[in-house]
Amino acid sequence: MGAHLVSEVRGAAPREDPIREARRQWVEHGWGEAADGMALVTSIARVQQLLMERIDAVLRPLDLSFARYEVLMLLSFSSSGQMPMSRMGSLLQVHPTSVTSAVDRLEKQGFVRRTRNADDRRQVLASITDDGREVAARGTEGLNREVFERPGIAGGELHQLFELLSTVRASAGDPTS
C-alpha cells in the first residue's frame, strides 16, 4: 500500500507539498509568471523555519537565542574580545535596537560587559566575558554537530545553493564579495 493510501487509511491528512500546490494554484489563477518566484520565496521562508527549529533546540538549553549567540560569536572573533555596539549592528546586519536588546540580555546573564571607550567616552563597547566565551563554545559545538555539519543537502549542492542565495542577497544590496 502506498504511503499516501496508508496515511488516508490511518486517518491522517495525505502528505502533499503545500508549496507545490500553491504554485499550481498560482498558475491556474493566471499568475504563472510569478509562480516560480512565489514557490522560491515560500520555500526559503519554510527552510528558514525548519533550520531555526533545529538551532533553537540546541541553543534553548543554554538560555540563548540565535541573535544572542551571534553577538557572542562576533565578540569572540574580535581580536580584543570587544567591539563598539554601533559596529556590531552593521556586521550582524540588524537594527541597532536589536543589538541593544541582545546585549542587555547577555549582560544580565553575565556573558557580556558594557564599558565606555577610554578614547571616546561617547562610544559604548560590548566585551565578552569568560562565561560568555564558554557558553558560545558550547553553543558552537552543538550547532556544528546538530545543524551546520548536516544542513540537509550535500557538500557540492551546499556550495551551489550558497552561491545562488548570494546572488539573491546581492540583488537586494547586501555585500556578498
> What was the pLDDT predicted at 2?
44
Task: Say if residue 11's pLDDT is above 80.
Answer: no
* Integer CA distances (angstroms), 155 to 19, 54, 58, 159, 162, in order: 25, 19, 22, 6, 11
| pLDDT tens, position by position, 17-27 | 999 999 999 99
Arithmetic mean of pLDDT over the chain: 91
Cα 174 from chain centroid (whole Å): 16
The average pLDDT across 62-81 equals 97
| pLDDT tens, position by position, 124-163 | 999 999 999 999 999 999 999 999 999 999 888 999 999 9
Measure CA of the first residue to CA of the last residue in the chain; give whole Å. Answer: 51
